[in-house]
Structure 1
Amino acid sequence: MADINASIHFLLLIFLSSTFLHLETVKLGSCNGVLNASCTEIERKALVNFKQGLTDPSDRLSSWVGLDCCRWSGVVCSSRPPRVIKLKLRNQYARSPDPDNEATDDYGAAHAFGGEISHSLLDLKDLRYLDLSMNNFGGLKIPKFIGSFKRLRYLNLSGASFGGTIPPHLGNLSSLLYLDLNSYSLESVENDLHWLSGLSSLRHLNLGNIDFSKAAAYWHRAVNSLSSLLELRLPGCGLSSLPDLSLPFGNVTSLSVLDLSTNGFNSSIPLWLFNFSSLAYLDLNSNSLQGSVPEGFGFLISLDYIDLSFNILIGGHLPRNLGKLCNLRTLKLSFNSISGEITELIDGLSECVNSSSLESLDLGFNYKLDGFLPNSLGHLKNLKSLHLWGNSFVGSIPNTIGNLSSLQEFYISENQMNGIIPESVGQLSALVAADLSENPWVCVVTESHFSNLTSLIELSIKKSSPNITLVFDVNSKWIPPFKLSYLELQACHLGPKFPAWLRTQNQLKTVVLNNARISDSIPDWFWKLDLQLELLDFSNNQLSGKVPNSLKFTENAVVDLSSNRFHGPFPHFSFNLSSLYLRDNSFSGPIPRDFGKTMPRLSNFVVSWNSLNGTIPLSMAKITGLTNLVISNNQFSGEIPLIWNDKPDLYEVDMANNSLSGEIPSSMGTLNSLMFLILSGNKLSGEIPFSLQNCKDMDSFDLGDNRLSGNLPSWIGEMQSLLILRLRSNFFDGNIPSQVCSLSHLHILDLAHNYLSGSVPSCLGNLSGMATEISDYRYEGRLSVVVKGRELIYQSTLYLVNSIDLSDNNLLGKLPEIRNLSRLGTLNLSINHFTGNIPEDIGGLSQLETLDLSRNQLSGPIPPSMTSLTSLSHLNLSYNSLSGKIPTSNQFQTFNDPSIYRNNLALCGDPLPLKCPGDDKATTDSSRAGNEDHDDEFEMRWFYVSMGPGFVVGFWAVFGPLIINRSWRRAYFRFLDEMKDRVMVVITVNVARLQKKCKWERRQHGT
């Protein structure tokens, strides 16, 4: 875009110069005047008076002395006769006009003219050129007399902080060729664009960022009167509607540049754009244009720049007709909703006869644009910039990308590229910056991928997923062909050794090797590279050793060594740091006493989970820009120092789990931006300072596990943004203030283990934050919450926890009405003095997982509605006076631990041994049936056992006497006759019983 603007301006200047030369010859002198010439006395006095009306803080007009004003800085004269024809007083030190820069451009402001514009300039009768741009006239109105310069050809007042409305007198400048009023402080009134019709010679018009919303319906009519217009720039003018005429600029046929970006257009792309056959530059970005890209774009054969970014373009495939734009050099369609595949567009552009002229292609952040990158991408030989990030492309980078010998920028991050990175990428000798981040690559990167990247300066390959599937496999002796200044490798497998190829990278300013599986010590040669670092991030590895004090950093640098195994004393860093993250290591010893003096620019200081000790340095009061102070989980002792004044931006203070003592300083109430105050797990005493009521934007207020006392302050209810209130394990007494109920965003209320008394406010059910789903993710730090009977630590999912814990206090009365808290997950009211029944509507807490009502004086039955608590996994109702039968359906079938119901003497039913009334009869019938079964089983067993011996006895009883004498045979036969009678009796009895048993079993089974 900058190259195009420069080309257009160059052509325009040639045109203007030729026009001026046709009128008169201008010869420049040794300065800005001419040789052997001097301005008139009238002009000299006019310029002196003009200077006297200005403020000149940097003395830019110091040369305006002497008689020859043609030699003064910024003054240009004609030769014969010598007359002042140009005033070139642009502030060259200032940035381009931008609302985001105006407040921070201190250097430009120090050189800006101000004051007033003297009427004496009217004596410059031959003035052709007036440039006062990028100065600061503090809302001064544009002088009406400027409209009297009849011969003026060039007028530039952009970014000069003129205010008020545009004087219609400018319409008298009929010779004006160039007009630039681009400003964020000018405004328009209704019907004040008619003055444009008087600028009949105008070629260049820039009215950017002037509010023309009151003229939005007819602005195009005023422009249509400028038949000579070549360049029209109206960005950010509040033009809410595009004309739907077939050609609203019927007289403006030679327009080559059209910039209507950053307006409020809410329509489709108008078809009349295709009638500008000379249009070479089109910028419609940051509007609300809708629909798809029209096929008609293919007919704008002269177009070499298209910017339709930040609209709502939706539709199927990108139109193939765009491929007809073989002269197109820049195509920007980013931040839209274009869907479909990229194939047709790339194929179309690659079919140009003499190759496509495309140099910059930006299709970023369309999200629904998908498919594979086609091989035809390699045919766009002139491509220098390729921005494809933020889409849904899949597969691999085509091997033909190695043909793009001119490619300098390649951004393909935030896609679904799940293939490989081809080795042909290593042939892109012109490549300067490559970002392949946030893709699920499955490949190995070797030296071949970098073989010819001699121009590479920036390389970024990072992943948010810890699942590492991209491995760097390079030889330890490999020497890269590039010198990087920016290196970001996150969640890539570089380890276990520290990458030796960094030894040659002595121009690095950003080094990120985060989660790279490096389990090594950092070699001495790295510390001795003499780097001037802006960012050093070695977090989430297993790096060990001590950190030297030799590192150097640029202004506002960031250091992150978190989650490693570094040890030794607290490291000393240069005073330029803005952020220092050392959490989760083994650093020991105290923080240096002069820490605040050596790092006065620090904004983020996070050193939690180390072994640091001693007191918190009082010198931290010198760090006025501090925003984030996290020193939790160390061994700090002593009182909290008085370091809180002059810290208007401090939003997080986390000193949890140390050994701090004394009272909470009342000066912490000056922290108006405080959102997270976490002082839990210390030995703090005294009351909560009244001054903390000034911290009305608090999100998390955690003073748990201390020795604080006094009443809970009612002003806590004024913290309307509060999400977490945790005051457990202290010595607070008195009632729970009803103002707590006004905390509509609260989703964790923990007042357990105190001495609170009285009844629970009946309005507790109004905590709507526990009844509605949180629509946006909010960081709330790391918090210990008692859930399911045990203490759990939540961090990334803390925003999903909804809990009320009032256990171990002296609360009394009935249980609070909380049936509206439909998203409540934990309710613990144990160890209090609650009486009455468990509310029947407790079954409405559909997402309740933990319910503890133990050790109270509750009575009555367990409500049947509790069986609908299907998410309930932890229940404790012990030590109450509950009565009746324990429910047995749904979740209650899993609560088979008797301790859940212990010491409720009137409770009965499983899993308790006490049976409920009515259960005895069923038990007796069951026992009787069981005894009968037992008798029958015994008789049947005896029957089968006796069959064997009976057979043997019967056999020998028959055949044995035959072997003996006759008298014996006779005696035995008599005996057998008697035995026969007895056996028959036994058999008859057993058969009868067996038949009876079979009939009974059939009756029981209904057969």
Structure 2
Amino acid sequence: MDEYSQLHRRCSLLYSSLLLLGLSIGLLLLVIPKLVSGCHEEEREALLKFKHGGLQNPANRLSSWGSSGNKDCCSWPGVGCNNSTTTRRVVKLDLRNANLDEYGRPLLNFSLGGKIDSSLIHLQHLTYLDLSGSNFVNAIPDFFGSFEHLEYLNLSYSNFVGRIPNQLGNLSNLHTLDLGRNFYLTVDDDFAWASSLSSLQFLDLSRVSLSFSELNWLTNFSSLTHLYLSYGGFHGSMPPSMGNLTSLEVLDLSHNSIYGTIPASFSTNLCKLRILNLGYNTNISGISERWIGSICLANSLQELYLRGIDMRSSSTVLLSTIGNLTSLEVLDLSHNFINGTLPRSLTSNLCHLRVLRLGGNSIRGMERSIRGLSNSMEELNLRGNQLGGDLQVLWREISIISRTLKILDLSDNSLSGYIPYSSSNGGMMLPYVLEELYLDGNKLSGHVILQNIGNFSNLVTLGISQNSLPIVITEGVLTKLKRLKFIDLSKNRLVWKVKSRWLPPNIRTIYLSSSQVGPKFPSWFQHHRRGGVSVLAMSNASISDDVPDWFWKISTNMQYLDLSHNQLRGHLPNIGMSTWYEVLDLSNNSLSGQIPKDICMLENLEKLDLSSNHFHGDIPDCWGKGVLKNLYYMGLSNNNLSGEAPRSLGNLPSLVFLHMRNNSISGEISSTTKNMKNLLVLDLAFNRFSGVIPTWGAGEDLSKLRILSLRSNMIHGNIPSEISQLNSLQFLDISHNMLSGVIPVSFGKFIAMSRIHIEKDEWFGYESPYVVFAPTTDSVWMNLKGVELENSGTLGFINHIDLSSNNLSGDIPKELTHLLGLVSLNLSGNSLRGQVPKKIGELRQLESLDLSRNKLSDEIPSSISNLYYLSKLNLSYNDLSGKIPTGFQLQTLNDSSVYIGNDNLCGPPLLRKCLTNESSNMGKGGAEKRGKEDEIEIMGLFISIALGFVVGFWAFCGLLIFKRSWRTWYYRFVDEMMDKVFVAVAVRVARLKKKFNKSAEI
């Protein structure tokens, strides 16, 4: 009983203890929320003001901030707080855009933008701030410099503009600063404030404009481990003080204008350097074996990028030295003018090498070098060399390293033969682990090539364009390539053997341009998974068909669509905001109907080309409503568009190329081009524009313009002199209008046309910060040498002025001869008077000169014969007089039509000769001038004859008088000659007499 009571007492005690424990836990749970409250009220309000204070949030990423039932800002997405037992403080704000496309660019649909409200200044405990991948298009707020506890700041790829605020120098605790890929961000000339960031370990200013001339501000960064300054526009030498960055592990100075030698301190102090990128600094020198081959770097350097630095003068020694960097894993020597074979040491000593890039050189005989490569090779790039020969021979050597090779690029090497696919072929093994294979631009043969490639089951990327192969595409081949994401079969002869309901693999990028895809629109495409293809290029694919409705439905997630240069028919549907198009090129087809209004809602659009179709009606007046911020190219030429050009076109902030040529568009030009400050090309030719030419040069508008074509419109009034302030203008065509007045004297001040030597692609140095597929060149139509031609920027641009077929009067300004780079000048069809400028011959680059159908008088300047490149000349139908100049290039221009309609001209190639009294038929000034020139020529002739006689006579007779030996020899020579002549004459006479006597006897 006692034992039972005792047991009962113990159980009761245990029960009471458990009950007390439960009550304690419950009480604790009720008390803790009171002890540890949510985020600070002031900070919560600051975050809400930030959200509602002009911030653009297209994907509603911050929708839960402040919603009912979610008042604690520490639980909001992107917000992090400390673990204080009292009021918690916001220490982390991570609002980066993690939604990237396949090229690593942030998708704008998910990007924050607009205004950053100053309320964030109340987050004074902030240690981490990440706004990367946004689209603010504003300056970095100065108040960011007040976050004194900030350790991490990432504003990369956020389209910030303007200067970097000096206030960031107050962030003394900062260890990471990433401002990279803000294309319009600049720094002041004095960047000394950055040296106060002494705790900095990571600094990225890539693609930020570095306008300063020195890098001495880097001296104090003794803790810096990562430094990225690529594409900074930096121009100067590397200071020796950079050798003080002893903690540096990664250094990227690529794509700048660094010159001079590399400081010696680099080879002794930077012993922790793992990654070094000096690519595309063509003026850099001192990359010698002493530096690259230093023991310090040999033990640490793992990745070396020397792409595009021009190694012609030191390639052999330098390549051998690089072979001593035994820790090297990645080596990029592309585009360095390396010629011949590679040193054996370059490949045999680098046992850890995983990536080797040698593209764009002139390397031959790679077979032996490949044998020495590491067995752990993952990438081999030999694109654009001079390998030549049979692909199978090279493939045999590559098969040795095939077990790990994932990327192989043999493009543009004139390789022949076909890809071996049987392991029984000489014991050859195939790199079945290959993920990327590029064989473009070779001379491969055999229609079974794609069948062979079908064995590479791991292939993700395949490029075999420009081989002119009869490629047979079957369902079975492509079905094997289940991982294939990218395929380029352009410029080949394709033979499609697939069923209409064939389901292709999940390919995201397809290039079939300049291949036989048509004549029908490929029906198998409709069975592709919706939203699967992001890039489709089928230009010039021989398709002659209606664009089916189902195609537009399955292309809603497409980023790049190029169906140009086919014969597609139908209307453009309302494609609206449901699409992600960045590039939409439907040019050179037979599409009709009106341009749908909701095309303005394609918020990601960067290039739109609808030119050379049958679109009609008005251009939608919906542009630039805060959506098309990235549109840089618009092509609407060669359609049937009418109505006034919409004023909203002036709201497109990024527009660089605007082509509206050959339509029936009306209105005033000034209202169309307002605020287009980034415009390089403006082509409005062959329309019905009216009004006057705006005074663009007087303000900021069109200050970057390179091409201006207003040909064949109804523009009137005078040519504004301010137009010469367009310093970049290289192409001016305002012909066939109703312009009057004189040619402004200021035309001689076009800076771009005054330069003689212009690089091929200098005139289009523009690079879109958004566009992967964007061309950096463009073209424009021009009338050159009497023929309508398309001039492309890829061929180098022509400096051209065409003012023909207007009502211009007055003289031709002599200042035009200051445009030393001018290639074509057309002033025909006006009422210009006076003389042809006497210094016209100073335009040495001139190839075409047309001054016909004016009222020019006097003589043709003789300096015109100095135009060595002149191949088109037209001076017809003026009042020119006198003799036509001759010499040099003019001798080849023997067409009399060049001078027809000038009754007082004479000399070749005209049949009318210049007579001695020709001066009577000349103009008074010309006759007097010619008479004086004739008198001078005659007097000079007589003086020359007299001097020649005197000098010759006394040179000969003087020697005979004063030189006895010469006199004796001369008389002896004369006597001998006389004797010989006498004997010869006597013999000849005797023979004639004898012959005469015989004839008489007969």
Q: In the alignment, does 2:470 pair up with 1:495?
A: yes
Contact 1:299–1:325 (8 Å) recurs in 2: no
For the residues of structure 1 that align with 2:245 and 2:575, how far apart are their CA atoms?
Answer: 62
For the residues of structure 1 that align with 2:906 and 2:484, how far apart are their CA atoms?
Answer: 75
Which residue of 2 is the match for residue 700 of structure 1? Answer: 681
> Residues 91 and 373 of structure 1: is their aligned pair in 2 closer, same or farther, counting only changes over 3 Å?
farther
Q: In the alignment, does 2:37 pair up with 1:48?
A: yes
For the residues of structure 2 that align with 1:636 and 1:334, how far apart are their CA atoms?
Answer: 50
For the residues of structure 2 that align with 1:816 and 1:738, how far apart are their CA atoms?
Answer: 13
Specify the code of the residue in structure 2 equivalent to 1:763: S
> Residues 136 and 626 of structure 1: is their aligned pair in 2 closer, same or farther, counting only changes over 3 Å?
closer
Q: In the alignment, does 2:660 pair up with 1:690?
A: no
2:378 equivalent among 400, 404, 408: 408
Which residue of 2 is the match for residue 751 of structure 1? Answer: 734
Q: In the alignment, does 2:534 pair up with 1:568?
A: no
Q: CA deviation at 1:820?
A: 0.8
Contact 1:282–1:307 (8 Å) recurs in 2: yes
> Residues 559 and 260 of structure 1: is their aligned pair in 2 closer, same or farther, counting only changes over 3 Å?
closer
Which residue of 2 is the match for residue 486 of structure 1? Answer: 461
Which residue of 1 is the match for residue 438 of structure 2? Answer: 460
Q: CA deviation at 1:701?
A: 2.0
Aligned pairs for 1:292-331 within 5 A:
306-310=274-278, 314-317=286-289, 330-331=302-303
1:762 equivalent among 738, 745, 750: 745
Q: CA deviation at 1:371?
A: 6.4
Q: CA deviation at 1:442?
A: 3.7
Specify the code of the residue in structure 2 equivalent to 1:604: V
Contact 1:296–1:321 (8 Å) recurs in 2: no
Between Structure 1 and Structure 2, whose CA radius of gyration is higher? Answer: 1
Q: In the alignment, does 2:602 pair up with 1:623?
A: yes
2:574 equivalent among 587, 594, 612: 594
> Residues 261 and 898 of structure 1: is their aligned pair in 2 closer, same or farther, counting only changes over 3 Å?
closer
Choose 257-266 or 799-808, whichever is displaced more.
Answer: 257-266
Which residue of 2 is the match for residue 648 of structure 1? Answer: 629
Contact 2:169–2:197 (8 Å) recurs in 1: no
Which residue of 1 is the match for residue 486 of structure 2? Answer: 510
Aligned pairs for 1:267-286 within 5 A:
267-268=239-240, 282-286=249-253
For the residues of structure 2 that align with 1:732 and 1:273, how far apart are their CA atoms?
Answer: 62
Output the aligned Cα RMSD.
Answer: 5.3
Aligned pairs for 1:375-524 within 5 A:
375=344, 383=352, 385-389=354-358, 392=361, 394-399=363-368, 401=370, 404-413=374-383, 421-431=394-404, 433-436=406-409, 440-447=413-420, 451-462=429-440, 468-469=442-443, 474-475=448-449, 477-478=451-452, 479-495=454-470, 497-498=472-473, 501-515=477-491, 518-524=492-498
For the residues of structure 1 that align with 2:715 and 2:290, how far apart are their CA atoms?
Answer: 66
1:885 equivalent among 879, 883, 886: 883
> Residues 454 and 45 of structure 1: is their aligned pair in 2 closer, same or farther, counting only changes over 3 Å?
farther
Which residue of 1 is the match for residue 784 of structure 2? Answer: 787
Specify the code of the residue in structure 2 equivalent to 1:330: Q
1:834 equivalent among 825, 832, 851: 832
Aligned pairs for 1:90-109 within 5 A:
none
- Aligned to 1:454, what secondary structure does the other structure show? coil
For the residues of structure 2 that align with 1:729 and 1:187, how far apart are their CA atoms?
Answer: 52
Specify the code of the residue in structure 2 equivalent to 1:340: S
> Residues 883 and 134 of structure 1: is their aligned pair in 2 closer, same or farther, counting only changes over 3 Å?
closer
> Residues 427 and 908 of structure 1: is their aligned pair in 2 closer, same or farther, counting only changes over 3 Å?
same
For the residues of structure 2 that align with 1:385 and 1:746, how far apart are their CA atoms?
Answer: 48
Contact 1:346–1:374 (8 Å) recurs in 2: no
Superposed CA deviations along residues 179-216 of structure 1, whole A, max 9, x for unmatched, are x93445999999998xx9xxxxxxxx956669998698
Specify the code of the residue in structure 2 equivalent to 1:535: T
- Aligned to 1:483, what secondary structure does the other structure show? coil
Which residue of 2 is the match for residue 31 of structure 1? Answer: none
TM-score by length of 1: 0.65
Choose 876-885 or 682-691, whichever is displaced more.
Answer: 682-691
> Residues 593 and 43 of structure 1: is their aligned pair in 2 closer, same or farther, counting only changes over 3 Å?
closer
Choose 686-695 or 738-747, whichever is displaced more.
Answer: 686-695
Which residue of 1 is the match for residue 511 of structure 2? Answer: 537
Which residue of 1 is the match for residue 657 of structure 2? Answer: 676
Which residue of 2 is the match for residue 725 of structure 1? Answer: 708
- Aligned to 1:819, what secondary structure does the other structure show? helix
Specify the code of the residue in structure 2 equivalent to 1:562: S
For the residues of structure 1 that align with 2:462 and 2:709, how far apart are their CA atoms?
Answer: 42
Superposed CA deviations along residues 309-342 of structure 1, whole A, max 9, x for unmatched, are 3486732337686689897683445569575346
- Aligned to 2:598, what secondary structure does the other structure show? helix
TM-score by length of 2: 0.65
Contact 1:533–1:554 (8 Å) recurs in 2: no
- Aligned to 2:897, what secondary structure does the other structure show? helix
2:225 equivalent among 239, 255, 259: 259
For the residues of structure 2 that align with 1:621 and 1:359, how far apart are their CA atoms?
Answer: 51
For the residues of structure 2 that align with 1:95 and 1:638, how far apart are their CA atoms?
Answer: 40
Superposed CA deviations along residues 604-626 of structure 1, whole A, max 9, x for unmatched, are 22122222223323332332332
For the residues of structure 2 that align with 1:857 and 1:162, how far apart are their CA atoms?
Answer: 68
For the residues of structure 2 that align with 1:882 and 1:117, how far apart are their CA atoms?
Answer: 81
Contact 2:359–2:381 (8 Å) recurs in 1: no
Contact 1:453–1:482 (8 Å) recurs in 2: no
For the residues of structure 1 that align with 2:731 and 2:168, how far apart are their CA atoms?
Answer: 53
Contact 1:324–1:348 (8 Å) recurs in 2: no
Query: Sequence identity of aligned pairs in percent?
Result: 26
For the residues of structure 2 that align with 1:956 and 1:181, how far apart are their CA atoms?
Answer: 130
Q: CA deviation at 1:676?
A: 2.3
Contact 1:295–1:319 (8 Å) recurs in 2: no
> Residues 737 and 522 of structure 1: is their aligned pair in 2 closer, same or farther, counting only changes over 3 Å?
farther
Q: CA deviation at 1:434?
A: 1.5
Superposed CA deviations along residues 764-811 of structure 1, whole A, max 9, x for unmatched, are 222222212445241563322111122222224565212222222222
> Residues 826 and 883 of structure 1: is their aligned pair in 2 closer, same or farther, counting only changes over 3 Å?
same
Aligned pairs for 1:112-261 within 5 A:
164=146, 181-183=151-153, 233=201, 235=203, 240=216, 259=225, 261=227
Contact 1:735–1:756 (8 Å) recurs in 2: yes
- Aligned to 2:397, what secondary structure does the other structure show? helix
Contact 1:506–1:529 (8 Å) recurs in 2: no
> Residues 330 and 568 of structure 1: is their aligned pair in 2 closer, same or farther, counting only changes over 3 Å?
same
Contact 2:847–2:872 (8 Å) recurs in 1: yes
Superposed CA deviations along residues 691-730 of structure 1, whole A, max 9, x for unmatched, are 4333233222222223333433445764222222222223
Q: CA deviation at 1:576?
A: 0.6
Specify the code of the residue in structure 1 equivalent to 2:355: L
Contact 2:304–2:328 (8 Å) recurs in 1: no
Specify the code of the residue in structure 1 equivalent to 2:378: Q
Specify the code of the residue in structure 2 equivalent to 1:760: I
For the residues of structure 2 that align with 1:41 and 1:474, how far apart are their CA atoms?
Answer: 76
Specify the code of the residue in structure 1 equivalent to 2:536: V
For the residues of structure 2 that align with 1:667 and 1:242, how far apart are their CA atoms?
Answer: 46
For the residues of structure 1 that align with 2:202 and 2:848, how far apart are their CA atoms?
Answer: 61
> Residues 293 and 456 of structure 1: is their aligned pair in 2 closer, same or farther, counting only changes over 3 Å?
farther
Superposed CA deviations along residues 603-655 of structure 1, whole A, max 9, x for unmatched, are 22212222222332333233233222212222223332334242333232222
Count of paired positions: 782
Contact 1:483–1:504 (8 Å) recurs in 2: no
Q: In the alignment, does 2:812 pair up with 1:809?
A: no
For the residues of structure 2 that align with 1:243 and 1:683, how far apart are their CA atoms?
Answer: 62
Q: CA deviation at 1:305?
A: 6.8
Specify the code of the residue in structure 1 equivalent to 2:573: R
> Residues 523 and 735 of structure 1: is their aligned pair in 2 closer, same or farther, counting only changes over 3 Å?
farther
Unaligned runs of 5+ in 2: 1-24, 48-61, 73-79, 114-119, 133-142, 156-164, 180-186, 206-213, 423-427, 765-775, 920-933, 935-994
For the residues of structure 1 that align with 2:216 and 2:443, how far apart are their CA atoms?
Answer: 48
For the residues of structure 1 that align with 2:592 and 2:576, how far apart are their CA atoms?
Answer: 17
